[in-house]
Amino acid sequence: MIDLGALHTQVRDILETGEVRAVVGWRRGSRGMLAEPVTIATPEEAETLVWDPTCFHNLSLTLVEERKKPSWRPGKPIAVVAKGCDARSLTVLMQENCFRRDEVYVIGVSCAGSGVLDERKLAQRLPGVEPDSAAFDGDAFVCATAGGEDRIPARELMADRCLECRDAHPKLNNVVFGEAQPRAFDPPFAALARFEQEQVGVAERWQFWQRQFERCIRCFACRSVCPMCYCEECVVDSINMAVGADTTAAEKANRIRWIERSASRADNIGYHMTRALHLAGRCIDCAECERVCPVNIPLRLLNNKLEREARVAFGYEPGASIDLPALVASFRDDDPNHFIR
Amino acid sequence: MSAQTPYEPKIVAFLCKWCSSAGSDLAGVSRIQYPANATPITVACSGGVSPQFVLSAFHKGADGVLVSGCHIGDCHYMEGNFHARRKLYLVKELLEFTGVEPDRFRMSWVSAAEGAKFAQVVRDFVEDLRPLGPQDKLKAERP
Protein backbone atom coordinates (compact mmCIF):
# COMPACT_ATOMS: atom_id res chain seq x y z
CA MET A 1 0.00 0.00 0.00
CA ILE A 2 1.18 3.47 -0.77
CA ASP A 3 1.31 6.09 1.95
CA LEU A 4 -0.22 9.09 0.20
CA GLY A 5 0.93 11.39 3.00
CA ALA A 6 4.54 10.44 2.39
CA LEU A 7 4.07 11.10 -1.32
CA HIS A 8 2.66 14.56 -0.58
CA THR A 9 5.57 15.33 1.73
CA GLN A 10 8.07 14.26 -0.89
CA VAL A 11 6.40 16.35 -3.60
CA ARG A 12 6.21 19.39 -1.30
CA ASP A 13 9.88 19.00 -0.37
CA ILE A 14 11.23 18.79 -3.90
CA LEU A 15 9.11 21.75 -4.99
CA GLU A 16 10.11 23.83 -1.93
CA THR A 17 13.83 23.17 -2.34
CA GLY A 18 13.56 23.87 -6.05
CA GLU A 19 15.00 20.48 -6.94
CA VAL A 20 12.35 20.23 -9.66
CA ARG A 21 10.40 22.92 -11.47
CA ALA A 22 7.12 21.06 -11.67
CA VAL A 23 5.48 17.77 -10.76
CA VAL A 24 3.19 15.80 -13.04
CA GLY A 25 0.72 13.62 -11.16
CA TRP A 26 -2.95 12.79 -10.84
CA ARG A 27 -5.67 14.73 -9.05
CA ARG A 28 -9.34 14.08 -8.42
CA GLY A 29 -11.16 14.58 -11.72
CA SER A 30 -14.42 16.36 -12.36
CA ARG A 31 -16.31 13.22 -13.38
CA GLY A 32 -17.19 10.65 -10.78
CA MET A 33 -14.39 8.49 -9.48
CA LEU A 34 -11.91 9.21 -12.27
CA ALA A 35 -8.55 10.79 -11.60
CA GLU A 36 -7.06 13.18 -14.15
CA PRO A 37 -3.49 14.21 -14.95
CA VAL A 38 -2.31 17.49 -13.47
CA THR A 39 0.91 19.50 -13.49
CA ILE A 40 1.69 21.43 -10.32
CA ALA A 41 4.44 23.96 -9.70
CA THR A 42 3.88 25.16 -6.12
CA PRO A 43 4.40 23.25 -2.86
CA GLU A 44 0.86 24.17 -1.67
CA GLU A 45 -0.69 22.12 -4.43
CA ALA A 46 1.06 18.93 -3.30
CA GLU A 47 -2.02 17.92 -1.28
CA THR A 48 -4.16 17.75 -4.42
CA LEU A 49 -2.30 14.72 -5.77
CA VAL A 50 -4.08 11.38 -5.49
CA TRP A 51 -3.24 7.73 -6.04
CA ASP A 52 -6.04 5.23 -6.63
CA PRO A 53 -7.07 2.53 -9.14
CA THR A 54 -8.32 5.16 -11.60
CA CYS A 55 -4.85 6.59 -12.23
CA PHE A 56 -4.75 4.99 -15.68
CA HIS A 57 -2.88 7.63 -17.61
CA ASN A 58 0.71 7.19 -18.63
CA LEU A 59 2.08 10.54 -17.50
CA SER A 60 5.23 10.32 -19.57
CA LEU A 61 2.95 11.57 -22.35
CA THR A 62 2.60 14.91 -20.56
CA LEU A 63 6.36 15.20 -20.52
CA VAL A 64 6.65 14.39 -24.22
CA GLU A 65 4.00 16.96 -25.07
CA GLU A 66 5.72 19.57 -22.94
CA ARG A 67 8.99 18.81 -24.68
CA LYS A 68 7.45 19.43 -28.10
CA LYS A 69 6.14 22.90 -27.23
CA PRO A 70 8.09 25.83 -28.66
CA SER A 71 8.12 27.25 -25.13
CA TRP A 72 10.20 24.33 -23.84
CA ARG A 73 13.40 25.47 -22.12
CA PRO A 74 16.01 23.22 -20.56
CA GLY A 75 16.34 23.74 -16.85
CA LYS A 76 15.58 22.03 -13.59
CA PRO A 77 14.16 18.54 -13.98
CA ILE A 78 10.44 17.87 -14.08
CA ALA A 79 9.11 15.25 -11.71
CA VAL A 80 6.69 12.59 -12.90
CA VAL A 81 4.67 10.22 -10.79
CA ALA A 82 5.15 6.90 -12.54
CA LYS A 83 3.71 3.42 -12.19
CA GLY A 84 5.79 0.42 -13.24
CA CYS A 85 4.66 0.68 -16.86
CA ASP A 86 5.10 4.47 -16.97
CA ALA A 87 8.65 4.10 -15.67
CA ARG A 88 9.37 1.66 -18.48
CA SER A 89 8.07 4.14 -21.06
CA LEU A 90 10.30 6.84 -19.53
CA THR A 91 13.20 4.41 -19.89
CA VAL A 92 12.45 3.94 -23.59
CA LEU A 93 12.14 7.70 -24.11
CA MET A 94 15.56 8.19 -22.49
CA GLN A 95 16.97 5.34 -24.54
CA GLU A 96 15.82 7.26 -27.63
CA ASN A 97 17.38 10.48 -26.33
CA CYS A 98 14.05 12.19 -25.97
CA PHE A 99 15.18 13.16 -22.48
CA ARG A 100 18.37 12.87 -20.52
CA ARG A 101 18.14 11.01 -17.24
CA ASP A 102 18.88 14.19 -15.29
CA GLU A 103 15.99 16.03 -16.93
CA VAL A 104 13.39 13.83 -15.30
CA TYR A 105 12.82 13.14 -11.62
CA VAL A 106 10.90 9.89 -11.37
CA ILE A 107 8.59 9.49 -8.38
CA GLY A 108 7.85 5.80 -8.60
CA VAL A 109 4.59 4.40 -7.28
CA SER A 110 4.58 0.65 -7.03
CA CYS A 111 1.35 -1.09 -7.99
CA ALA A 112 2.62 -3.97 -5.84
CA GLY A 113 -0.17 -6.49 -5.86
CA SER A 114 -2.75 -4.02 -7.16
CA GLY A 115 -3.24 -2.29 -10.49
CA VAL A 116 -5.65 0.04 -12.22
CA LEU A 117 -9.19 -0.97 -12.99
CA ASP A 118 -10.75 -1.35 -16.41
CA GLU A 119 -13.65 1.02 -17.06
CA ARG A 120 -15.22 -1.40 -19.53
CA LYS A 121 -15.16 -4.25 -17.03
CA LEU A 122 -16.62 -1.92 -14.41
CA ALA A 123 -19.43 -0.84 -16.72
CA GLN A 124 -20.33 -4.49 -17.25
CA ARG A 125 -20.16 -5.29 -13.58
CA LEU A 126 -22.13 -2.27 -12.38
CA PRO A 127 -24.28 -1.34 -15.39
CA GLY A 128 -25.59 2.20 -15.31
CA VAL A 129 -23.82 3.06 -12.07
CA GLU A 130 -21.10 5.65 -11.79
CA PRO A 131 -19.15 5.08 -8.58
CA ASP A 132 -17.96 8.16 -6.69
CA SER A 133 -14.65 6.62 -5.76
CA ALA A 134 -12.63 3.47 -6.19
CA ALA A 135 -9.99 2.03 -3.89
CA PHE A 136 -7.97 -1.12 -3.66
CA ASP A 137 -7.91 -2.94 -0.36
CA GLY A 138 -5.43 -5.74 -1.01
CA ASP A 139 -7.48 -8.26 -2.94
CA ALA A 140 -10.58 -6.40 -4.09
CA PHE A 141 -11.68 -3.07 -5.50
CA VAL A 142 -14.02 -1.10 -3.27
CA CYS A 143 -16.33 1.11 -5.31
CA ALA A 144 -18.36 3.66 -3.37
CA THR A 145 -21.71 4.25 -5.06
CA ALA A 146 -24.85 6.13 -4.05
CA GLY A 147 -26.31 2.82 -2.85
CA GLY A 148 -23.40 1.94 -0.61
CA GLU A 149 -20.09 0.16 -1.13
CA ASP A 150 -19.46 -2.55 -3.68
CA ARG A 151 -16.59 -4.92 -3.10
CA ILE A 152 -15.49 -6.57 -6.33
CA PRO A 153 -12.67 -9.13 -6.50
CA ALA A 154 -9.55 -7.72 -8.15
CA ARG A 155 -9.52 -10.29 -10.93
CA GLU A 156 -12.93 -9.26 -12.24
CA LEU A 157 -12.21 -5.57 -12.51
CA MET A 158 -8.51 -5.15 -13.06
CA ALA A 159 -7.25 -4.11 -16.48
CA ASP A 160 -5.75 -7.00 -18.47
CA ARG A 161 -2.38 -5.31 -18.70
CA CYS A 162 -2.26 -5.07 -14.90
CA LEU A 163 -3.24 -8.70 -14.48
CA GLU A 164 -0.31 -9.58 -16.74
CA CYS A 165 2.09 -6.92 -15.44
CA ARG A 166 5.66 -8.11 -14.98
CA ASP A 167 7.21 -4.97 -13.51
CA ALA A 168 4.75 -3.43 -11.10
CA HIS A 169 7.63 -1.94 -9.18
CA PRO A 170 9.18 0.96 -11.16
CA LYS A 171 12.79 0.07 -11.82
CA LEU A 172 13.70 3.56 -12.97
CA ASN A 173 13.14 5.90 -10.06
CA ASN A 174 14.61 8.66 -7.93
CA VAL A 175 12.32 7.76 -5.09
CA VAL A 176 9.74 5.02 -4.87
CA PHE A 177 6.62 4.45 -2.78
CA GLY A 178 5.12 1.07 -2.09
CA GLU A 179 6.89 -2.23 -1.88
CA ALA A 180 8.03 -4.73 -4.47
CA GLN A 181 5.72 -7.72 -4.06
CA PRO A 182 5.44 -10.67 -6.35
CA ARG A 183 2.23 -10.59 -8.35
CA ALA A 184 -0.35 -13.30 -8.04
CA PHE A 185 -2.33 -12.84 -11.24
CA ASP A 186 -1.88 -13.93 -14.88
CA PRO A 187 1.42 -14.78 -16.58
CA PRO A 188 2.62 -12.28 -19.22
CA PHE A 189 0.84 -12.38 -22.60
CA ALA A 190 -2.11 -14.34 -21.16
CA ALA A 191 -4.70 -12.42 -23.21
CA LEU A 192 -2.63 -12.95 -26.36
CA ALA A 193 -2.34 -16.68 -25.67
CA ARG A 194 -6.13 -16.83 -25.14
CA PHE A 195 -6.69 -15.12 -28.47
CA GLU A 196 -4.34 -17.48 -30.26
CA GLN A 197 -6.14 -20.47 -28.81
CA GLU A 198 -9.53 -19.18 -29.87
CA GLN A 199 -8.61 -17.99 -33.37
CA VAL A 200 -6.40 -20.67 -34.79
CA GLY A 201 -6.37 -20.65 -38.59
CA VAL A 202 -5.45 -17.89 -40.99
CA ALA A 203 -9.09 -17.58 -42.09
CA GLU A 204 -10.40 -17.22 -38.52
CA ARG A 205 -7.75 -14.64 -37.70
CA TRP A 206 -8.66 -12.67 -40.79
CA GLN A 207 -12.36 -12.82 -39.97
CA PHE A 208 -11.59 -11.47 -36.52
CA TRP A 209 -9.27 -8.65 -37.55
CA GLN A 210 -11.38 -7.63 -40.49
CA ARG A 211 -14.30 -7.06 -38.13
CA GLN A 212 -12.06 -5.02 -35.83
CA PHE A 213 -10.43 -2.87 -38.49
CA GLU A 214 -13.64 -2.14 -40.36
CA ARG A 215 -14.87 -0.37 -37.26
CA CYS A 216 -11.92 1.98 -36.99
CA ILE A 217 -13.02 5.58 -37.52
CA ARG A 218 -9.46 6.86 -37.74
CA CYS A 219 -9.86 9.29 -34.87
CA PHE A 220 -6.15 8.74 -34.11
CA ALA A 221 -6.82 8.64 -30.38
CA CYS A 222 -4.42 5.69 -30.12
CA ARG A 223 -1.70 7.79 -31.69
CA SER A 224 -2.44 10.86 -29.57
CA VAL A 225 -2.36 8.97 -26.30
CA CYS A 226 0.82 7.03 -27.06
CA PRO A 227 3.96 8.43 -25.44
CA MET A 228 6.03 6.67 -28.12
CA CYS A 229 4.19 8.30 -31.03
CA TYR A 230 6.08 11.55 -30.83
CA CYS A 231 7.19 11.93 -34.46
CA GLU A 232 6.94 15.47 -35.79
CA GLU A 233 5.39 14.11 -38.94
CA CYS A 234 3.37 10.92 -38.87
CA VAL A 235 3.44 8.60 -41.85
CA VAL A 236 -0.30 9.11 -42.33
CA ASP A 237 -0.06 12.91 -42.23
CA SER A 238 1.22 13.61 -45.70
CA ILE A 239 -0.47 17.02 -45.34
CA ASN A 240 2.73 18.23 -43.71
CA MET A 241 4.49 18.42 -47.09
CA ALA A 242 6.43 21.66 -47.45
CA VAL A 243 4.66 23.73 -50.07
CA GLY A 244 6.52 26.68 -51.52
CA ALA A 245 5.77 29.24 -54.19
CA ASP A 246 7.26 27.03 -56.88
CA THR A 247 5.61 23.75 -55.82
CA THR A 248 3.61 22.61 -58.81
CA ALA A 249 0.11 21.21 -58.67
CA ALA A 250 1.47 17.91 -59.92
CA GLU A 251 3.98 17.75 -57.07
CA LYS A 252 1.24 18.42 -54.56
CA ALA A 253 -1.04 15.83 -56.12
CA ASN A 254 1.70 13.21 -56.39
CA ARG A 255 3.16 13.60 -52.93
CA ILE A 256 3.93 10.30 -51.27
CA ARG A 257 0.93 8.93 -49.47
CA TRP A 258 1.78 5.63 -47.86
CA ILE A 259 -1.57 5.41 -46.13
CA GLU A 260 -4.67 7.53 -46.59
CA ARG A 261 -6.06 9.36 -43.57
CA SER A 262 -9.65 8.50 -44.28
CA ALA A 263 -11.29 5.36 -42.95
CA SER A 264 -11.42 2.40 -45.29
CA ARG A 265 -10.64 -1.19 -44.47
CA ALA A 266 -7.35 -1.51 -46.32
CA ASP A 267 -6.04 1.83 -45.09
CA ASN A 268 -7.11 1.11 -41.52
CA ILE A 269 -5.21 -2.14 -41.60
CA GLY A 270 -2.20 -0.39 -43.10
CA TYR A 271 -2.33 2.23 -40.38
CA HIS A 272 -2.62 -0.19 -37.49
CA MET A 273 0.02 -2.54 -38.86
CA THR A 274 2.41 0.33 -39.42
CA ARG A 275 1.78 1.57 -35.92
CA ALA A 276 2.38 -1.86 -34.45
CA LEU A 277 5.65 -2.18 -36.38
CA HIS A 278 6.79 1.30 -35.34
CA LEU A 279 6.13 0.31 -31.74
CA ALA A 280 7.97 -3.00 -31.95
CA GLY A 281 10.62 -3.06 -29.25
CA ARG A 282 9.34 0.29 -27.94
CA CYS A 283 5.84 -0.46 -26.70
CA ILE A 284 5.99 -1.15 -22.99
CA ASP A 285 2.38 -2.29 -22.70
CA CYS A 286 0.75 0.63 -20.90
CA ALA A 287 -2.30 -0.27 -23.03
CA GLU A 288 -3.48 3.33 -23.21
CA CYS A 289 -4.25 2.91 -26.93
CA GLU A 290 -6.73 0.18 -26.18
CA ARG A 291 -8.27 2.10 -23.30
CA VAL A 292 -8.97 5.24 -25.33
CA CYS A 293 -10.21 3.45 -28.45
CA PRO A 294 -13.84 4.58 -28.93
CA VAL A 295 -14.72 1.49 -30.95
CA ASN A 296 -12.99 -1.07 -28.72
CA ILE A 297 -10.37 -2.41 -31.12
CA PRO A 298 -8.12 -4.80 -29.17
CA LEU A 299 -4.94 -2.92 -30.12
CA ARG A 300 -3.07 -4.42 -27.23
CA LEU A 301 -3.04 -7.78 -28.99
CA LEU A 302 -1.06 -6.36 -31.92
CA ASN A 303 1.50 -4.68 -29.71
CA ASN A 304 1.74 -7.69 -27.41
CA LYS A 305 2.26 -9.99 -30.34
CA LEU A 306 5.33 -8.09 -31.52
CA GLU A 307 6.59 -7.63 -27.98
CA ARG A 308 6.44 -11.37 -27.46
CA GLU A 309 8.11 -12.10 -30.79
CA ALA A 310 10.92 -9.71 -29.93
CA ARG A 311 11.31 -11.41 -26.58
CA VAL A 312 11.24 -14.97 -27.88
CA ALA A 313 13.16 -14.54 -31.12
CA PHE A 314 15.61 -11.80 -30.19
CA GLY A 315 15.70 -11.90 -26.39
CA TYR A 316 14.71 -8.24 -26.36
CA GLU A 317 12.85 -6.64 -23.49
CA PRO A 318 11.64 -3.08 -24.14
CA GLY A 319 12.18 -0.62 -21.31
CA ALA A 320 14.69 -2.82 -19.50
CA SER A 321 17.55 -0.35 -19.55
CA ILE A 322 18.45 3.10 -20.87
CA ASP A 323 21.67 1.74 -22.39
CA LEU A 324 19.91 -0.91 -24.46
CA PRO A 325 20.20 -0.43 -28.25
CA ALA A 326 16.90 -0.17 -30.15
CA LEU A 327 15.37 -3.45 -31.29
CA VAL A 328 15.65 -2.80 -35.03
CA ALA A 329 19.00 -1.04 -34.74
CA SER A 330 20.68 -4.13 -33.33
CA PHE A 331 20.98 -7.78 -34.32
CA ARG A 332 22.49 -11.05 -33.23
CA ASP A 333 24.21 -13.65 -35.35
CA ASP A 334 21.67 -16.24 -34.28
CA ASP A 335 18.51 -14.29 -35.14
CA PRO A 336 15.95 -16.60 -36.77
CA ASN A 337 16.92 -17.52 -40.32
CA HIS A 338 14.61 -20.49 -40.84
CA PHE A 339 12.00 -18.49 -42.76
CA ILE A 340 14.47 -17.36 -45.42
CA ARG A 341 15.04 -19.44 -48.53
CA MET B 1 -8.17 -8.06 -65.67
CA SER B 2 -10.97 -9.54 -67.68
CA ALA B 3 -12.77 -12.66 -66.52
CA GLN B 4 -11.33 -14.76 -69.34
CA THR B 5 -7.65 -14.29 -68.54
CA PRO B 6 -6.49 -16.89 -66.04
CA TYR B 7 -5.19 -15.58 -62.75
CA GLU B 8 -1.48 -14.81 -62.72
CA PRO B 9 0.01 -13.81 -59.36
CA LYS B 10 1.73 -10.43 -59.30
CA ILE B 11 4.94 -10.41 -57.29
CA VAL B 12 6.84 -7.34 -56.20
CA ALA B 13 10.47 -8.30 -55.65
CA PHE B 14 12.80 -6.02 -53.70
CA LEU B 15 16.27 -7.11 -54.79
CA CYS B 16 19.48 -5.81 -53.33
CA LYS B 17 21.73 -4.16 -55.85
CA TRP B 18 24.86 -6.12 -54.97
CA CYS B 19 23.67 -9.71 -54.88
CA SER B 20 20.10 -10.60 -55.73
CA SER B 21 19.67 -8.07 -58.50
CA ALA B 22 22.91 -9.31 -60.06
CA GLY B 23 21.65 -12.85 -59.48
CA SER B 24 18.47 -12.10 -61.42
CA ASP B 25 20.64 -10.62 -64.15
CA LEU B 26 22.65 -13.81 -64.29
CA ALA B 27 19.44 -15.83 -64.57
CA GLY B 28 18.57 -13.64 -67.54
CA VAL B 29 21.88 -13.82 -69.39
CA SER B 30 22.09 -17.56 -68.72
CA ARG B 31 18.71 -17.89 -70.47
CA ILE B 32 17.20 -19.71 -67.49
CA GLN B 33 13.44 -19.98 -67.97
CA TYR B 34 11.34 -18.73 -65.06
CA PRO B 35 7.90 -17.14 -64.73
CA ALA B 36 7.64 -13.46 -65.59
CA ASN B 37 5.37 -12.72 -62.62
CA ALA B 38 7.94 -10.87 -60.54
CA THR B 39 8.43 -7.14 -60.94
CA PRO B 40 11.95 -6.43 -59.69
CA ILE B 41 12.69 -3.26 -57.74
CA THR B 42 16.39 -2.80 -57.12
CA VAL B 43 17.22 -1.38 -53.72
CA ALA B 44 20.62 -0.37 -52.39
CA CYS B 45 20.50 -2.96 -49.63
CA SER B 46 17.94 -5.37 -48.22
CA GLY B 47 18.52 -3.56 -44.92
CA GLY B 48 16.90 -0.51 -46.50
CA VAL B 49 13.64 -2.29 -47.20
CA SER B 50 11.26 -0.65 -44.79
CA PRO B 51 8.29 -2.66 -43.57
CA GLN B 52 6.33 0.20 -45.11
CA PHE B 53 7.49 -0.90 -48.59
CA VAL B 54 6.08 -4.36 -48.01
CA LEU B 55 2.76 -3.08 -46.68
CA SER B 56 2.59 -0.54 -49.48
CA ALA B 57 3.13 -3.20 -52.15
CA PHE B 58 0.24 -5.22 -50.72
CA HIS B 59 -1.82 -2.06 -50.47
CA LYS B 60 -1.29 -1.41 -54.17
CA GLY B 61 -2.41 -4.90 -55.05
CA ALA B 62 0.64 -7.18 -55.03
CA ASP B 63 -0.27 -10.84 -54.57
CA GLY B 64 3.11 -11.62 -53.10
CA VAL B 65 6.16 -9.70 -51.92
CA LEU B 66 9.68 -11.04 -52.16
CA VAL B 67 12.65 -9.47 -50.43
CA SER B 68 16.01 -10.84 -51.44
CA GLY B 69 19.50 -9.88 -50.34
CA CYS B 70 23.06 -11.12 -49.95
CA HIS B 71 23.80 -14.19 -47.88
CA ILE B 72 24.46 -13.54 -44.20
CA GLY B 73 28.07 -12.42 -43.87
CA ASP B 74 28.27 -11.22 -47.49
CA CYS B 75 26.49 -7.87 -47.16
CA HIS B 76 28.23 -5.12 -49.08
CA TYR B 77 27.50 -2.87 -46.12
CA MET B 78 28.65 -5.50 -43.61
CA GLU B 79 25.42 -5.79 -41.60
CA GLY B 80 22.49 -4.60 -43.72
CA ASN B 81 21.00 -8.04 -44.20
CA PHE B 82 21.16 -8.73 -40.45
CA HIS B 83 18.93 -5.69 -39.95
CA ALA B 84 16.65 -6.79 -42.80
CA ARG B 85 16.28 -10.23 -41.27
CA ARG B 86 15.22 -8.86 -37.91
CA LYS B 87 12.84 -6.20 -39.23
CA LEU B 88 11.18 -8.39 -41.80
CA TYR B 89 10.80 -11.27 -39.40
CA LEU B 90 8.50 -9.00 -37.42
CA VAL B 91 6.59 -8.08 -40.59
CA LYS B 92 6.15 -11.74 -41.43
CA GLU B 93 4.89 -12.53 -37.94
CA LEU B 94 2.49 -9.59 -37.96
CA LEU B 95 1.04 -10.49 -41.37
CA GLU B 96 0.46 -14.02 -40.21
CA PHE B 97 -1.05 -12.86 -36.93
CA THR B 98 -3.61 -10.67 -38.66
CA GLY B 99 -4.66 -13.49 -40.98
CA VAL B 100 -2.76 -12.79 -44.18
CA GLU B 101 -1.60 -16.07 -45.75
CA PRO B 102 2.03 -16.65 -44.66
CA ASP B 103 2.98 -17.65 -48.22
CA ARG B 104 2.37 -14.14 -49.51
CA PHE B 105 5.55 -12.76 -48.03
CA ARG B 106 8.90 -14.38 -48.67
CA MET B 107 12.57 -13.67 -48.13
CA SER B 108 15.58 -15.24 -49.75
CA TRP B 109 19.33 -14.88 -49.87
CA VAL B 110 20.55 -14.98 -53.45
CA SER B 111 24.13 -14.16 -54.35
CA ALA B 112 25.30 -12.70 -57.66
CA ALA B 113 26.45 -16.17 -58.73
CA GLU B 114 23.12 -17.87 -58.00
CA GLY B 115 21.09 -17.20 -61.13
CA ALA B 116 19.62 -20.68 -60.99
CA LYS B 117 18.61 -20.24 -57.37
CA PHE B 118 16.87 -16.95 -58.16
CA ALA B 119 14.88 -18.61 -60.92
CA GLN B 120 13.94 -21.41 -58.53
CA VAL B 121 12.88 -18.98 -55.80
CA VAL B 122 10.55 -17.17 -58.21
CA ARG B 123 9.22 -20.45 -59.62
CA ASP B 124 8.43 -21.78 -56.13
CA PHE B 125 6.87 -18.49 -55.07
CA VAL B 126 4.56 -18.39 -58.08
CA GLU B 127 3.52 -21.99 -57.51
CA ASP B 128 2.76 -21.29 -53.84
CA LEU B 129 0.81 -18.14 -54.69
CA ARG B 130 -1.34 -19.62 -57.43
CA PRO B 131 -3.69 -21.60 -55.13
CA LEU B 132 -4.16 -18.57 -52.86
CA GLY B 133 -5.83 -16.49 -55.55
CA PRO B 134 -5.77 -12.70 -55.76
CA GLN B 135 -4.75 -10.81 -52.66
CA ASP B 136 -7.60 -8.53 -51.61
CA LYS B 137 -7.09 -8.30 -47.87
CA LEU B 138 -4.61 -5.45 -47.80
CA LYS B 139 -5.44 -4.06 -51.23
CA ALA B 140 -7.02 -0.64 -51.41
CA GLU B 141 -10.64 -0.74 -52.56
CA ARG B 142 -10.30 2.25 -54.84
CA PRO B 143 -9.37 1.70 -58.50
Q: Searching chain B, which residue's CA lies closest to the CA of residue A316? A: B86
Identify whether A48 is part of a domain.
Answer: yes
Of B85, B24, B28, B39, nearest in space to A341 by CA: B85
Please report, for chain B, the start and end positions of each structural domain, with discontinuous segments joined by +.
11-131
- Does any domain span residue A88? yes
pLDDT category, A230, cuts 50, 70, 90?
very high
Torsion of CA A141, A298, A277, A266, to 10 degrees: -160
**Do residues A212 and A310 both lie within one domain?**
yes
| Inter-chain residue contact A273 with B72, CB threshold 8 Å | no
- Give the closest-approach CA distance of A297 to chain B in angstroms: 13
Please indicate, yes or no, whether residues A235 and A166 belong to a single structural domain of this protein.
no
CB within 8 Å of A85: residues ≥ 6 apart: A58, A161, A165, A167, A284, A285, A286, A287
State whether A38 and A180 are in the same domain.
yes
Q: Any chain B CB within 8 A of the CB of A151?
A: no
Q: Which residues contact A184 (CB under 8 A, 6 or more apart)?
A: A113
State ipTM.
0.92
Residue A314 has what pLDDT? 95
- The pLDDT score that the predictor gives to residue A242 is 77
Are A224 and A201 within one domain? yes
Assess whether pLDDT exceeds 70 at residue A239.
Answer: no
Residue A299: inside a domain: yes
B97 and A305 within 8 Å at the Cβ level: the answer is yes
Q: What confidence score (pLDDT) does residue A217 get?
A: 95
B86–A202 C-beta distance less than 8 A = no
Residue B17 pLDDT:
95
DSSP for A82-150 reads E-HHHHHHHHHHHHTTSS-GGGEEEEEE--TT---B-HHHHHHHSTT---SEEEE-SSEEEEEETTEEE
In chain B, whose CA is at the least distance from the CA of A329? B83
| Within a domain: A74 | yes
Q: Give the tens place of pLDDT for each residue, A143-161.
A: 888 888 888 888 889 999 9
Rounded Cα–Cα distance for residues A163 and A106 (Å): 24
Q: Are residues A314 and A222 in the same domain?
A: yes
How much of chain A, in percent, has pLDDT values that exceed 90? 65
The helix/strand/coil state of A208 is helix
The DSSP letter of residue A324 is P
The CATH architecture one would assign to domain B11-131 is 3-Layer(aba) Sandwich (3.40)
> How far from chain centre, in Å, is Cα A31?
21
Distance from C-alpha of B100 to C-alpha of A206, rounded to nearest angstrom: 7
Query: Which tens digit of pLDDT belongs to each residue from A259-275?
Result: 888 889 999 999 999 99
Q: What does the alpha-carbon distance between residue B54 and residue B105 come to, in Å, rounded to a whole number?
A: 8
Q: Indicate yes or no: CB of B140 within 8 angstroms of CB of A204.
A: no
Helix (H, G, I), strand (E, B) or coil at A246: coil
Whether A76 and A31 map to the same domain: the answer is yes
pLDDT digits (tens, 9 = 90+) for A22-31: 999 999 998 8
In percent, how much of chain A has pLDDT > 70?
Answer: 98
Interface of A with B in 170-229 (CB under 8 A): 202-210
pLDDT at B19: 95
pLDDT score at B142: 67
**Average model confidence (pLDDT) across chain A:** 91
Are the beta carbons of A331 and B138 separated by less than 8 Å? Answer: no
Residues in chain B predicted with pLDDT less than 70, given as ranges, are: 1-3, 142-143
pLDDT tens track for A71-114: 988 889 999 999 999 999 999 999 999 999 999 999 999 987 67
Tell me if A340 is assigned to some domain: no
Task: Give residues 240 to 299 of A whose Cβ lies within 8 Å of B.
Answer: 258-260, 264-267, 269-270, 273-274, 276-277, 280
The number of folded domains in chain A is 2
The verdict on a CB contact (< 8 Å) between B99 and A329 is no
pLDDT of residue A111: 84
Cross-chain residue pair B98–A331, CB shorter than 8 Å = no
> Angle B80-97/A299-314 helices, nearest 10 degrees?
140
What is the full DSSP assignment across chain B? --SSSPP---EEEEEETTTHHHHHHHHHHTT----TTEEEEEES-GGG--HHHHHHHHHTT-SEEEEEEPPTT--TTSSHHHHHHHHHHHHHHHHHHTT--GGGEEEEE--TT-HHHHHHHHHHHHHHHGGG----SSS-S--
Q: Which residue does chain B place closest to A259, by CA atoms?
A: B56
pLDDT at position B99: 93
Beta strands, E only, chain A: 22-28, 35-40, 78-82, 104-109, 133-136, 140-145, 148-153, 175-177
A200 shares its domain with A164: no
What is the domain range of residue A254? 187-334
Chain A residues touching residue B142 (CB < 8 angstroms): 264
The pLDDT of residue A197 is: 93
A123 and A219 belong to one structural domain: no
Cβ distance of B99 and A341 shorter than 8 Å:
no
Cβ distance A341 to B124 less than 8 Å, yes or no, reads: yes
Residues A40 and A179 in one domain: yes
User: In angstroms, rounded to a whole number, what is the distance separating the alpha carbons of residues A329 and B45?
Assistant: 15
Task: Compare CB distances from A339 to B101, B107, B139 and report the shortest one's residue.
Answer: B107
Pairing assessment for the beta strands A148-153 and B38-43 based on DSSP bridges:
unpaired
Q: Would an 8 Å CB–CB cutoff place A305 in contact with chain B?
A: yes
Contacts A267 to B, Cβ<8 Å:
59, 140
